Amino acid sequence: MITLNGIGASPGTAEGTLFCYHRKVYAGPPRPIGTPAQERERFRAALRQADQQLRQLFLDTVSDADEECAKVFEIHRMMLEDQDYLQAVEDRISQGETGVEAAVEEVSRLFSSAFMAMDSAYMQARAADVQDVSARLLRILRGEEEKPLSLPYPVILAAEDLHPSETVQLDKKKLIAIVTAQGSRNSHTAILAKTMGIPAIVRLGDAVAEDMHGKHAAVDGNAGTLWIEPTDSICQMVHEKTMDLNERRQQLLQYKGKPSVTRDGISVHLFANVGAVEDCEAAVENDAEGAGLFRTEFQYLSASACPGEEELFRLYRAAVLAMQGKPITFRTLDIGADKQASYLELPHEENPAMGLRAVRLCLTRRDLLRTQLRALYRASAFGPISIMVPMIASVWEMQEIRKSAALIRRDLAADGTAFDPKVPLGAMIETPAAALLSDELTAECDFFSIGTNDLTQYTLAADRQNGAIHLFYDARHPAVLRLIRMTVENAAKAGIPVGICGDLAADLTMTDFFLSLGVASLSVPPSMVLPLRERVRSLTVGKKPQTPAEPSTQKEESI
């Protein structure tokens, strides 16, 4: 037996056959170098094609995993616009002695080495992003077909490292665990493994050799240990740990059909976050009481032309029907310069998170708003829906949305089209402005939904996509919690419900705080519904709002 120790990157245990994967090295003939102008045009054409591929990967990942993992590919698309990277490649091409392929390879090595030299583990993990994007460009330039790694049967996949795009395209039904020689627990591969519920170990070193292919192995993703040709006692231990995990999953099934009520009688609705019809089915399977967030932008991102009313209506109707009578809340189009759809011809922005996005885009492009609202109201004839508007920062914005909705209802009624005239219309509280104005916004809203991810970002002026400042992005920051409390209290005075749909909703250490405030609903990934219900039913909240422990003392990494 050989025992290898690395870093546990995704919890869980597994036992099976090792499948050693080695990325193929291009062995084709070198291409003649054209003029600098020709090579630059080839580079720019490859960038356009890579962007199209990454957009599709984004949509595929949303269907299989969740929005946070899909943002890996948003980051890759943004890298295709990184001026430092682009300029470095074009500078080498302009010298006239280097073809675009050699230029991309050289810049990839330069940039990834720079990331690896940084002290931050998070920034070191970004080297894999540079390598992944560069490898994609090289495949396109060389005319190589992108072939997802094919696994013959359920295996423990071993590799030197895996690109994020390689991981997401794996057949999950044939993947028992992932072990790599390189990588980090902050890598996108590790994040994706956690999302898929697959044990993973990184940094096992060069000991993971090709001659281990086909050998029996066991994995403990918690301890970071890989056993090659394990003994019977090791196999028994791994088997018992796996059984404990399966028992845990079975234990959670007892909460299906039970009310989400604390020991002292405080009830809360547990909803699911969804983005596709398949997600709605998963929400029902996990006994969610409804869908608290349906992300509507994916239909726009996957289209080559702006979706029409009929196309949107068919999607929304299918989602409503998939919920089997349970309520579903649709978030209106949350798209902008950070989530590009080329046909919208949105301008490039230096700071897209604060640019023309979400409600700002809808009020600037009223045709988009009108088409989507008509489709949503028509879908309301098939089941209970609500509509919520993202990125609200003023009362005027909600007033404009309500006026547009009223005109849509008038037109549909005049046409004799079936719809629910009493569809609730609410605002997402994602900006400090919305929270501070929540007392006034209640007059224009039937409900609030607090998006804690963006609320944290805008309150702390900390871009949640910027790994360099991840220590400063803290969703439990007192300022964020104070804005949440203010919003809930103002809503309670006006008699309208408040839900939480950001990452904090799935944080089981925050559940008692939210319930003590009087939050009406929590919306989480479908897989978190039953663990959250278990947590709710174990609590005795009381009437006094609980204050979470100060999170700044829990930092694991020094500045």
Buried b (16+ CB within 10 A) or exposed e, 22-38: eeeeeeeeeeebeebee
Q: What is the pTM of this model?
A: 0.68
| Same domain membership, residue 218 and residue 236 | yes
Q: Is 295 annotated as belonging to a binding site?
A: yes
Q: How far apart are CA 454 and CA 163, in angstroms?
A: 28
DSSP, collapsed to helix, strand or coil, labels residue 133 as helix
Q: Is 331 annotated as belonging to a binding site?
A: yes
Q: Catalytic one among 76, 163, 188, 477? A: 188
DSSP, collapsed to helix, strand or coil, labels residue 212 as helix
Buried b (16+ CB within 10 A) or exposed e, 276-301: bbebbbbbbebbbbbbbbbbbbbbbb
194, part of any domain: yes
User: Higher confidence at residue 154 or residue 547?
Assistant: 154
* Of the residues 142, 157, 176, the one at which a domain ends: 142
- Write down the pLDDT at residue 555: 41
Type of residue found at 295? R
DSSP annotation string for 237-270: HHHHHHHHHHHHHHHHGGGTT---B-TTS-B-EE
**DSSP category for residue 158:** E
Domain, as residue range, for 194: 2-24+148-252
| Same domain membership, residue 369 and residue 233 | no
The per-residue pLDDT of the chain, averaged, comes to 87
DSSP, collapsed to helix, strand or coil, labels residue 14 as strand
Structure tokens at 269: 């609705």
Question: pLDDT tens-digit profile of 310-331?
Answer: 999 999 999 999 999 999 999 9
113, part of any domain: yes
Is 188 annotated in the active site?
A: yes
Is 69 annotated in the active site?
A: no
Q: How far apart are CA 114 and CA 82, in angstroms?
A: 15
| Same domain membership, residue 300 and residue 204 | no
Residue 196 has pLDDT above 80, yes or no: no
| Same domain membership, residue 419 and residue 308 | yes
331, part of any domain: yes
- CA angle centred on 450, ends 446 and 451, rounded to 5°: 135
The predicted model gives 88-108 an average pLDDT of 89
User: Higher confidence at residue 192 or residue 34?
Assistant: 34
- Write down the pLDDT at residue 467: 58
Q: Catalytic one among 280, 362, 445, 501? A: 501
Strand ranges, E, within 338-384:
none
CATH of the domain at 213: 3.50.30.10
Q: Is 453 annotated as belonging to a binding site?
A: yes
- Write down the pLDDT at residue 548: 65
| Same domain membership, residue 371 and residue 290 | yes
Number of domains in the chain: 3
* Of the residues 195, 229, 252, the one at which a domain ends: 252
Q: How far apart are CA 436 and CA 433, in angstroms?
A: 5
The predicted model gives 439-455 an average pLDDT of 96
Q: Is 454 annotated as belonging to a binding site?
A: yes
Q: How far apart are CA 263 and CA 243, in angstroms?
A: 30
For CA atoms 456, 531, 297, 43, give the dihedral sign: positive
Q: How far is CA 169 from the centre of its chain?
A: 16
* Of the residues 204, 232, 252, the one at which a domain ends: 252
Q: Are 402 and 425 in contact (CB under 8 A)?
A: yes
User: Parallel, antiparallel, or unpaired for β 2-5 and 175-180?
Assistant: unpaired
Residue 274's beta-bridge partner residues?
Answer: 294
